Amino acid sequence: MKKSLFWLLALVLSPVAVLVVITPMDSQKQYIFGLLSIGILFLMGFSKRRSVSVIMVVTSLLMSTRYMYFRLTQTLHFNSSIEAILGMGLFLAEVYIWVMLLLNYLQTVWPLKRGIVPLPDDMSKWPTVDIYIPSYNEPLEVVRDTVLAAQCIDYPKDKMKIYLLDDGKRSEFCRLLRRRWGGLYHPQ
């Protein structure tokens, strides 16, 4: 019942959304539309309800889609081939960002909900866990503290492997691993 009501509402409001996107507005009306949308988003931002999140996403998507429609219909007129190449490159980058925005909104509004599965009582049936610690030229002390914290995780030691991924090929990492933990160092 609830799902069918949602789809019915989406079907009824779709033409309204299309009208909001394609209706031409002068600068003053566009300014008012933008301020109202931002005001709605700001006021709704204090709520944690899912329905409010959906309304915020729809409002943001309407504004973004309106901008993309404007870019497509009003700004892609070029006088030279270099303008066309650069202008279309910028437009395609904006389309990519708009698609990423849409996908991120879908992931945010409808997250995958997984139940917590308890581990079996028999520890031999527990899964093995690999912990990867990437190091992007951080100081040795920072990485050392991270490795020590990973070693303190409450999990059977024979079921856990810690990998230190160093992109700097630093010899001090190799010495630290061998001296402290007897680890192997494989520079890439």
Residuewise pLDDT in 10s, the chain (188 residues): 677 877 787 788 888 888 888 988 888 998 998 898 888 888 887 777 877 888 888 888 999 999 999 999 999 999 999 999 999 999 999 999 999 999 999 888 877 888 898 989 998 899 999 988 888 878 878 888 888 888 889 999 889 888 878 777 777 777 777 666 655 555 55
Report whether 130 contacts 163 (CB < 8 A). yes
Decide: pTM greater than 0.85: no
SS (H, E, C) the chain: CHHHHHHHHHHHHHHHHHHHHHCCCCHHHHHHHHHHHHHHHHHHCCCCCHHHHHHHHHHHHHHHHHHHHHHHHHCCCCCCHHHHHHHHHHHHHHHHHHHHHHHHHHHHHCCCCCCCCCCCCCHHHCCCEEEEEEECCCCHHHHHHHHHHHHCCCCCHHHEEEEEEECCCCHHHHHHHHHHHCCCCCCC
Give the pLDDT confidence score for residue 97 in this predicted structure.
97
Q: Examine the domain organization and report whether 65 and 19 are in the same domain.
A: yes
Residues present in the chain in total: 188
pLDDT at residue 181, rounded to an integer? 60
Structural domain boundaries, residue 166 = 123-181
Q: Examine the domain organization and report whether 18 and 76 are in the same domain.
A: yes
**Is 5 part of any domain?**
no
Residue type, 34: G
Domain match, 133 and 81 both: no
From 55, 86, 109, the end of a domain falls on 109
Predicted confidence at residue 1, as pLDDT, reads: 66
> How many folded domains does the chain comprise?
2
pLDDT of the residue at 28: 93
pLDDT of residue 90: 96
